[in-house]
């Protein structure tokens, strides 16, 4: 799943499913991503990777990751790899990512 409020990111990743024969879901904010995640796993879908923007409207990437981790613990789902994408440069962001069990990948918007 790709979670980002920028259509630029979606366009760049849109070519991957054809090459790797996989399905990629998109969400425009954290709230939509959490809804898709919960609904998906209830239907038996296992998300192997979530690329998550940190700064989004409605629900940011940190809150979304915390909620996904809570769902995983509560319902004993396998842990999904969450990779945070950010243009942040502050050193404190890395510590916040670690505390939310997400990895950090920087990119320029």
Mean pLDDT by 10 residues, the chain (109 residues): 81 64 84 95 88 88 91 89 72 56 47
Q: Which pLDDT score is estimated for 53?
A: 87
Q: Which pLDDT score is estimated for 104?
A: 47
Contact 47, 80 (CB under 8 A): yes
Domain count, the chain: 1
61: nearest Cα among 33, 90, 22: 33
Single pTM value for the model: 0.77
Q: What is the CATH number of the domain that holds 36?
A: 3.40.50.2300
Q: Which pLDDT score is estimated for 89?
A: 60
Backbone angles phi, psi at 81, to 5 degrees: -75, 120
Q: Which pLDDT score is estimated for 63?
A: 92
Which residues constitute the domain of residue 58?
2-106
């Amino acid at each position: 799943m790709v979670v980002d409020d920028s259509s630029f990111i979606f366009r760049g990743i849109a070519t991957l499913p054809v090459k790797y024969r996989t399905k990629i879901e998109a969400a425009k904010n954290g709230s939509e991503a959490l809804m898709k995640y919960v609904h998906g796993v209830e239907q038996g879908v296992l998300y192997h990777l979530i690329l998550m923007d940190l700064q989004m409207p409605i629900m940011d990437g940190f809150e979304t990751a915390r909620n996904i981790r809570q769902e995983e613990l509560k319902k004993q789902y396998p842990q999904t790899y969450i990779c945070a994408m950010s243009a942040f440069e502050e050193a404190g962001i890395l510590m916040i990512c670690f505390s939310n069990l997400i990895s950090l990948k920087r990119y320029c918007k």
